[in-house]
Chains A and B, each alone.
Chain A
């Protein structure tokens, strides 16, 4: 069930209505039932997986708590806790590995053995990736680790815990929530907050605008270009890559915004996942603002346990690289994602190495780092570096990515920017102009966000008639300009494939 589908249009209001009608003590149960129904609409047979994951981590959490309070010596407690933690992690990562990485591993081993002239037969299975597995697996592992470390107590209420794992707004593509945050909210009684409902609704509208009007529109152009890179070369690929950076941002941010808005309507606050990332002045800042919850997860459960930046520069850089390589692999079982992750890690490392040179350069040329020009330059450079890495993310394979880079470097067909050729690649002139206008709206919204100006609060502080007008016009604009309907294939959110 996609957020931008008729099914969800019927499902969500029904869930909300019943949620506010039933007694408060039944609300969590209703949300749990709805969440499982939501998951069943994707692939019914994989409901077992999420149940197994939930059960294993629930019981492991309880066992860890028991061990902590048991009357035995600390050494034994520590060892037992570690065993339970390892079981929980291996069980969940094992499922993730099998469904997501087994074939990739198998094919890679087969290629290596072929290269080494060894005759090793590795099996390949027809496996469908259960939707959301990457997200809920990380969420439950985070829970178990937090219980192990004593940051939170184990959740004894199975309904509450199962809802933490399967809460439908964030189930299939995040945000990846910390157990301490989400479980605490489930413990508090949810009361109808009119302001939160309005805010949630506005967030859903904004999310649908990002997804249907911007992301899916850009996709029409990008799919045409990337679908035939022998015909569309040079500047076509430059424009398509830049637009892909917009597409993936709007697609993912759109989904997260809808998830946050939907949860808010139930009185639940999910974490913000994006904070105007393309306005970042360095790749390090970019990764603090892009998919914030995943970055936070890797920082808390991989980077810091590896030592973070506290074991010398070389170890710091190695840890960064490891984290980004794993992050790349998390996004998909393809070498292109690993390269993408590695590139981003390298950018951060190079950024850190180049920092003294940058400082000296600024001092030497008497530049003003706080000036608008300097900041714009930093944003521009960061954006280009990120765009470059997106080539690997979007390309079908490494060789295609290299061909694209080569074509971009040798781009000489500048005339396509002026002679209307761009309007023959899936988007006509009006749609192209509309896309650019919407991107301007997006940039404006992000600038305001960085300045802590909340547009939805401004809207909600206006008179009722103005709010009504904004909502009505927005809904009409999304329905008229959105890419949906029988003439377009319904587009999945990009991050669902992870």
Chain B
């Protein structure tokens, strides 16, 4: 009897201790989770949070590299064509990564069209046949951090990264971000979502002689990423999702047109090389050697929106309340962005948007005639230009108006000329505050 009592007592004691340990482990996990959530870099969440809201439907998803990220503006597409879309492009995103992202997307949405940017099909792994670009992995984190932990994510990480440490880092990104404790900002506690539905246009101007090389030899389509393109095409075909595979123009380019044959094998998929449509003006639309700027993005988005509207059967979301609300926020954001900008070239790029009505007054004809870059930028805005004397030492004055919500926005920006005019617009025109 005594032995039985002792046994029961010992067993209770062990059970109590195990329970206490488990409770302690649970509390530690809760605390760690809080630390993890605070310290996690919110860039990925900001970009994709909107997408994960279950009540929103996105008929079109744009996938690919920074070419998509910089050059496709879903809210502009919606405004003109009523198409509901999301921009999933990001820097250095290889086709291998895109494949797994697509599989993740289709868990949450049933897109009616996938637009796939083909840049990087060969560029990222010509030398090493890599499934990801060797960077400091910031770009890959932007792509993967917001993906919930799932079998797909684990498969993606195991497939894409050979280094075990990297795999752990993407499965539990606390490993990467735990040291951020001394760089926390408001964004970490009150994260702001990306208003532009995943897009992030740039505002630089780059000028050089454009070049374009076309590769028609199918034997050159020999890369790991090309294999993943085929996987994407098969996957979408199986799920009855048409793919529109495109090349977005950039200033010194190479396009593998030989890939058209692979894509056109599928009746529902299409290949388009946007270089063929003369959509952009490289005098004003290039951001750098491989990307378009905001002006270029507006043109590409407009053309793509029109093409998709005419060739695919999609629902019209122009009266959708949530989209209208988003566009209102976006409009206010565009206005704030313009108000905060002081560099003339960047302002002129923003004014290429038909959302703004622009009047430009210039003090003398010499200013335009001696600076062809300035002239090209002004012509790109479709602004009403008046030449004539201006007050004080103002040599250029811009008057902008736009309509957002119930209020009319008006803004005036004045510049003085600092020295002899040459090609560097931002150095020669100084804003008068």
**Interface of A toward B, CB cutoff 8 Å:** 6, 194, 428, 430-431, 434, 464, 467-469, 471-473, 475-476, 479-487
- Complex CA gap A78/B165 in Å reads 58
Interface size class of B (residues with CB under 8 A): 20 to 34
CB distance from A239 to the nearest CB of B (A): 20
Contact B35 A480 (CB under 8 A): yes
Contact B178 A480 (CB under 8 A): yes
Determine if B51 is an interface residue (Cβ-Cβ < 8 Å): no
| 17 extra A-B contacts, CB within 8 A, seeds A472-B31, A486-B176 | A194-B17, A430-B181, A430-B182, A431-B182, A434-B182, A468-B24, A468-B27, A471-B24, A471-B28, A472-B24, A472-B28, A479-B32, A479-B178, A482-B178, A483-B179, A484-B175, A484-B178
Q: Which of A428, A431, A467, A480 has the most CB of B within 10 A?
A: A480
Contact A475 B28 (CB under 8 A): yes
By a CB distance below 8 angstroms, the chain B residues around A430 are 181-182
- Complex CA gap A430/B17 in Å reads 39
Q: Tell me the chain B residues, 53-104 only, with Cβ under 8 Å from chain A.
A: none
Determine if B250 is an interface residue (Cβ-Cβ < 8 Å): no
Contact B35 A479 (CB under 8 A): yes
By a CB distance below 8 angstroms, the chain A residues around B286 are none
Known A476-B35, A486-B165, A486-B169: A428·B178 in contact at CB below 8 Å: no
By a CB distance below 8 angstroms, the chain A residues around B176 are 485-487
Give which listed residue, A428, A475, A476, A484, contacts B182 with CB less than 8 A.
A428
CB distance from B226 to the nearest CB of A (A): 29
- Complex CA gap A194/B204 in Å reads 66
CB distance from A136 to the nearest CB of B (A): 30
* Chain A residues touching B, majority SS: helix
- Chosen A-B contacts, 5 in total, with CB atoms closer than 8 Å, are A430-B181, A464-B20, A476-B32, A479-B32, A487-B179
The 6 A-B pairs with the shortest beta carbon distances in the complex, nearest first, are: A430-B182, A472-B28, A468-B24, A485-B175, A476-B31, A472-B27
Determine if B174 is an interface residue (Cβ-Cβ < 8 Å): yes
Specify the chain B residue showing the minimal Cβ separation from A194: B17
Determine if B282 is an interface residue (Cβ-Cβ < 8 Å): no
List the count of A-B residue pairs having beta carbons below 8 Å apart. Answer: 54
Determine if B390 is an interface residue (Cβ-Cβ < 8 Å): no
Please, what's the 1-or-0 string for B1-36, where 1 marks a CB less than 8 Å from any CB in chain A?
000000000000000010010011001100110010
Contact B181 A480 (CB under 8 A): yes
- Complex CA gap A222/B165 in Å reads 26
- Complex CA gap A476/B30 in Å reads 10
Q: Tell me the chain B residues, 173-230 only, with Cβ under 8 Å from chain A.
A: 174-176, 178-179, 181-182
Determine if B39 is an interface residue (Cβ-Cβ < 8 Å): yes
Specify the chain B residue showing the minimal Cβ separation from A476: B31
Contact A481 B166 (CB under 8 A): no
Determine if B168 is an interface residue (Cβ-Cβ < 8 Å): yes
- Complex CA gap A6/B176 in Å reads 14
By a CB distance below 8 angstroms, the chain A residues around B182 are 428, 430-431, 434
- Complex CA gap A57/B386 in Å reads 100
By a CB distance below 8 angstroms, the chain B residues around A464 are 20
By a CB distance below 8 angstroms, the chain B residues around A469 are 27
Contact A480 B17 (CB under 8 A): no
By a CB distance below 8 angstroms, the chain B residues around A480 are 35, 39, 178, 181
Contact A485 B31 (CB under 8 A): no
By a CB distance below 8 angstroms, the chain B residues around A468 are 20, 23-24, 27
Contact B166 A486 (CB under 8 A): yes
By a CB distance below 8 angstroms, the chain B residues around A476 are 28, 31-32, 35
By a CB distance below 8 angstroms, the chain B residues around A475 are 28, 31-32
- Complex CA gap A6/B182 in Å reads 25
By a CB distance below 8 angstroms, the chain A residues around B31 are 472-473, 475-476
CB distance from A423 to the nearest CB of B (A): 11
By a CB distance below 8 angstroms, the chain B residues around A472 are 24, 27-28, 31
CB distance from A317 to the nearest CB of B (A): 50
CB distance from B13 to the nearest CB of A (A): 8
Specify the chain B residue showing the minimal Cβ separation from A488: B179
CB distance from B134 to the nearest CB of A (A): 14
CB distance from B185 to the nearest CB of A (A): 14
By a CB distance below 8 angstroms, the chain B residues around A428 are 182
Contact B27 A485 (CB under 8 A): no
- Complex CA gap A68/B315 in Å reads 98
Specify the chain A residue showing the minimal Cβ separation from B178: A480
CB distance from B382 to the nearest CB of A (A): 48
- Complex CA gap A280/B404 in Å reads 74
By a CB distance below 8 angstroms, the chain A residues around B168 are 6
- Complex CA gap A483/B175 in Å reads 10
Specify the chain B residue showing the minimal Cβ separation from A428: B182
CB distance from B40 to the nearest CB of A (A): 12
- Complex CA gap A453/B143 in Å reads 51
By a CB distance below 8 angstroms, the chain A residues around B179 are 483, 485, 487
- Complex CA gap A440/B165 in Å reads 33
Please, what's the 1-or-0 string for B147-184, where 1 marks a CB less than 8 Å from any CB in chain A?
00000000000000000011011000011101101100
Contact A479 B174 (CB under 8 A): yes
Give which listed residue, A481, A483, A487, contacts B181 with CB less than 8 A.
A481
- Complex CA gap A492/B168 in Å reads 20
- Complex CA gap A469/B26 in Å reads 11
By a CB distance below 8 angstroms, the chain A residues around B175 are 484-486
By a CB distance below 8 angstroms, the chain B residues around A481 are 181
- Complex CA gap A6/B174 in Å reads 14
CB distance from A227 to the nearest CB of B (A): 21
Please, what's the 1-or-0 string for B311-338, where 1 marks a CB less than 8 Å from any CB in chain A?
0000000000000000000000000000
CB distance from B423 to the nearest CB of A (A): 37
Specify the chain B residue showing the minimal Cβ separation from A487: B179
By a CB distance below 8 angstroms, the chain A residues around B174 are 479
- Complex CA gap A482/B175 in Å reads 11
- Complex CA gap A481/B181 in Å reads 8
- Complex CA gap A461/B28 in Å reads 20
- Complex CA gap A37/B23 in Å reads 32
Specify the chain A residue showing the minimal Cβ separation from B164: A6
Q: Which of A471, A479, A481 has the most CB of B within 10 A?
A: A479
By a CB distance below 8 angstroms, the chain A residues around B137 are 486
CB distance from A209 to the nearest CB of B (A): 15
Specify the chain A residue showing the minimal Cβ separation from B136: A487
Specify the chain B residue showing the minimal Cβ separation from A485: B175
- Complex CA gap A434/B182 in Å reads 10
By a CB distance below 8 angstroms, the chain A residues around B35 are 476, 479-480
Contact B166 A485 (CB under 8 A): no
Contact B178 A485 (CB under 8 A): yes
- Complex CA gap A2/B175 in Å reads 17
By a CB distance below 8 angstroms, the chain B residues around A471 are 24, 28
Please, what's the 1-or-0 string for B111-140, where 1 marks a CB less than 8 Å from any CB in chain A?
000000000000000000000000001000
Specify the chain A residue showing the minimal Cβ separation from B30: A472
CB distance from A14 to the nearest CB of B (A): 16
- Complex CA gap A485/B168 in Å reads 10
CB distance from B21 to the nearest CB of A (A): 9
CB distance from A299 to the nearest CB of B (A): 42
By a CB distance below 8 angstroms, the chain B residues around A467 are 24
CB distance from B176 to the nearest CB of A (A): 6
By a CB distance below 8 angstroms, the chain B residues around A487 are 176, 179
CB distance from A280 to the nearest CB of B (A): 34
